Amino acid sequence: MHRLQRLLLNPSAKYAAVFLSVVIAGFCMAQNTRTSGSEQDVFAVNQALGSGINLGNMLDAPVEGEWGVSFQDEYAQIIRKAGFRHVRIPVRWSAHAAGQAPYWIDPAFMKRVRHVVDTCLKAGLHVVLNVHHFEEIYTTPEEQEARLLAIWKQISAEFRTAPNELIFELLNEPQAELTTAKWNRMIPTLLSEVRQLHPNRVIVIGGGRWNSFEELEQLQLPDSDRMLIATFHYYHPFEFTHQGVDFLKETPPPPGRKFPADESEVRSIKSHFTIVSQWAAKNKRPVYVGEFGVAQTAAQSDRVRWIQMIASEASDRGFSVACWEFCSQFGLWSIETGLWNTDIIRALDSVGAKQEAGSPSKDR
Ligand code: BGC
């Protein structure tokens, strides 16, 4: 008799075999839920985002054009041809949504956003569409929560049939009164609203203090939702990246700041990225550096060095990135000349090429 048949005829061995097969089946199911489908997909989507650029200061200005730049249809092709794989589109919905329930968004504005999104998708770019500069929610979060929910209800309805290449980002840079703790309480409600029409769409979420990397540790993303990408923004050292800019409430850091000021600056940048990648490994979440950039007031060689370093630290750890931004104060492309800052594009290309060759992750 075959050894297995003999075993199965023995009653205690039979129970043991049944028990064993239940355990094995359970183990296989657990393996399946851990490795199959959604979780894999969201990492693949993050890889597909690769390197992108923010269409900054356009639809996030109080009125498009007020900050000197507005979206032109040809920008999508210019960006795609330069090798970027996605655009992040910051949108100030709150300037175009009623102050009272049901907080209707101006249909003309919705149409304009739709046009910008569709133009970028048609150019073969992934699109990250967010809620940007919602100033009121940063100062009075409790009062504005319903408004943010209503804004997402309307965005969800408008883009309900959009392709998977469209990604949503719930809120840019929670800050001031909107602490990570308060933001954590809003996330599940917002997600369930969006998930009604977009059960599988990838959604980007970051923590408080202007999407600081240090807040990720406190950020609570619902465990059951595996279609999320965590984000943080990176502008360290601020005195370098924001030297001489004219939009800060406080006096801007003086121009002339070099990068790196010393070796410890390089070490601290690397350690910040390592902290995030350890968080990502522990929490099994893909990571997106949704903003990083240097104002044009910095010296060109330092600007190139910093951007290359950040892109490289990110790509070594499998993070996707989006430069801040296309053609304004931090811009990589000039409206006047119609030319890219080729040194920066070359620096980003060298990182992209390394990424495609599959460089190993540093900290996992
Ligand atoms: C803000 C922009 C600003 C940039 C760099 C972004 O999050 O929305 O207005 O230019 O950060 O400070």
Q: Would you write out the chain's pLDDT as a tens digit for each of its 364 residues?
A: 343 333 334 444 444 443 434 333 333 333 333 333 444 489 999 999 999 999 999 999 999 999 999 999 999 999 999 999 999 999 999 999 999 999 999 999 999 999 999 999 999 999 999 999 999 999 999 999 999 999 999 999 999 999 999 999 999 999 999 999 999 999 999 999 999 999 999 999 999 999 999 999 999 999 999 999 999 999 999 999 999 999 998 999 999 999 999 999 999 999 999 999 999 999 999 999 999 999 999 999 999 999 999 999 999 999 999 999 999 999 999 999 999 999 999 999 988 765 666 554 556 4
| Cα(186)–Cα(183) distance, integer angstroms | 5
Whether omega for the bond prior to residue 102 falls within 30 degrees of 0, making it cis, is yes
Q: Is 324 in the pocket of ligand 1 (CB under 6 A)?
A: yes
**pLDDT recorded at residue 15:** 43
Is 53 in a helix, a strand, or coil?
Answer: strand
Query: What type of residue is 196?
Result: Q
Is 333 in a helix, a strand, or coil?
Answer: strand
Q: How far is the CA of 236 from the centre of ligand 1 (A)?
A: 13
Q: Is 325 in the pocket of ligand 1 (CB under 6 A)?
A: no
| Cβ neighbours, 10 Å, residue 86 | 25
Q: Are 166 and 127 in contact (CB under 8 A)?
A: yes
Ligand 1 atom, smallest distance to 293 CA: 5
| Cα(55)–Cα(154) distance, integer angstroms | 22
Is 97 in a helix, a strand, or coil?
Answer: strand
Q: How far is the CA of 168 from the centre of ligand 1 (A)?
A: 18
Ligand 1 atom, smallest distance to 242 CA: 12
Site to substitute for ligand 1 among 232, 324, 328, 329, most atoms within 8 A of C-beta: 324
Ligand 1 atom, smallest distance to 60 CA: 8
**pLDDT recorded at residue 305:** 98
DSSP 215: G
| Cα(118)–Cα(87) distance, integer angstroms | 12
| Cα(353)–Cα(335) distance, integer angstroms | 27
**pLDDT recorded at residue 361:** 54
**pLDDT recorded at residue 343:** 97
Report DSSP letters for 278-306, one per residue. Answer: HHHHHHT--EEEEEE---TTS-HHHHHHH
| Cα(233)–Cα(292) distance, integer angstroms | 6
Q: How far is the CA of 74 from the centre of ligand 1 (A)?
A: 23
**pLDDT recorded at residue 148:** 98
Q: Is 232 in the pocket of ligand 1 (CB under 6 A)?
A: no
Q: Which pTM does this prediction carry?
A: 0.88
| Cα(104)–Cα(118) distance, integer angstroms | 22
**pLDDT recorded at residue 26:** 39
Residue nearest (by alpha carbon) to ligand 1 atom 4: 324
**pLDDT recorded at residue 352:** 79
